[in-house]
Amino acid sequence: MQIGGLQKLTLIDYPGKIAATVFCIGCNFRCPWCYSRELVLPEEITPTPKFGVGAEKDFFNFLKGRKELLEGVVLCGGEPTIHKDLPEFCKKIKKMGFLVKLDTNGSNPEALKNLIKENLIDYVAMDIKAPKEKYNGAAGIKIDTGKIQESIDILKNGKIDFEFRSTILPQIHTKEDVMSIAKWIKDAKVYYLQQFRPEKTIDPAYEKCKPFSQEELESIQRVCNIYVFTKLRI
Ligand code: SF4
């Protein structure tokens, strides 16, 4: 597994758990507003001082020393499911007694299904970038929304704990767009609306974008609540 960074402690990334977050390198999307460009764009990927590219050994040594402190590990990106050795990586973490949370863009339902079937993950946070008809623009590449639908169905019809979430910003989403996402995932357990942070974005033009105000987010939350229990993550 190519590790691009490690947050040694997080109280917010894994709901209800004390965790560490592993940032996986690479992504198959190019969301123009993404603020993880140093994990996504090959020309910007640089090893971090201690946990450099491919430093799996360092990571597991770190975990060994945190057995008493941490409950789980969050795998985010980039997009973790593009890595063929993800199942093996999860297996090793689970074997050490930690829970695993996967953050995914939902583009790889086969990988998702396999990880769930093999009991290698315990929680999934899946991004929904936009309503179907606007997906390509929001993800920055042509997307097979059938794959996104498959991932949604796997989570909604399965037993694993999960959340759907969308980072929303006025330059990409209208209130109606977000409502249409809520309708799409209707009756899921929870839907998080995440505030956009205009910092070091893939398309630098988005660094100047003004995010939704608190009032606007609350107003969008209210309409989404008609379809799915919606919470704000600001
Ligand atoms: S925001 Fe988009 S480009 Fe950035 S890591 Fe997530 S899926 Fe990839």
Q: Does any ligand 1 atom lie closer than 6 A to the CB of residue 40?
A: yes
- 161 pLDDT above the threshold of 60: yes
CB 28 within 8 A of CB 79: yes
Q: Which residues contact 7 (CB under 8 A, 6 or more apart)?
A: 13, 20, 21, 23
230-233 and 72-76 as β-strands: parallel, antiparallel, unpaired?
Answer: unpaired
User: For 55-70, what is each residue's pLDDT tens digit?
Assistant: 788 899 999 999 999 9
Query: Could you tell me the pTM of the whole model?
Result: 0.95
What is the average pLDDT across 203-213?
Answer: 93
The domain over range 3-169 is classified in CATH as 3.40.50.880: no
- The predicted pLDDT at position 48 comes to 57
Band (44; pLDDT cuts 50, 70, 90): confident
Domain map (residue ranges) of the chain: 3-169
Residue spans of alpha helices (H) in the chain: 37-40, 56-64, 86-95, 109-117, 135-139, 145-157, 175-184, 214-224
Q: Quick: pLDDT tens for 75-127.
A: 998 899 999 999 999 999 999 999 999 999 999 999 999 999 999 999 999 99
Query: Which of the four pLDDT bands, split at 50, 70 and 90, describes residue 17?
Result: very high
pLDDT score of 51: 58
Q: What is the mean pLDDT of the chain?
A: 94
Please tell me the predicted confidence (pLDDT) of residue 104.
98
pLDDT of residue 54 exceeding 90: no
Ligand 1 center from residue 78 Cα (angstroms): 6
| Spatial separation of the C-alpha atoms in residues 100 and 168, rounded to whole Å | 26
Which of 34, 129, 148 to probe ligand 1 with, by most ligand atoms within 8 A of CB?
A: 34
Residue 233 reports pLDDT greater than 70: yes
Mutation probe of ligand 1 site: the residue of 22, 29, 76, 136 with most atoms within 8 A of C-beta: 29
Find the 200 Cα to ligand 1 centroid distance in Å: 13
Cβ distance 23 to 77 under 8 Å? yes
pLDDT of residue 110: 98
High-pLDDT (> 90) share of the chain, %: 84
The two tokens of residue 37 are: 């460009």
- Residue 43: pLDDT band by 50, 70, 90 thresholds? confident
How many Å is the maximal CA-CA distance in the chain?
A: 48
What pLDDT band is residue 47 in, cutting at 50, 70 and 90? low
- What is the pLDDT, as a whole number, of residue 87? 98
Residue 220 has pLDDT above 90, yes or no: yes
CA-closest residue to ligand 1 atom 2:
31
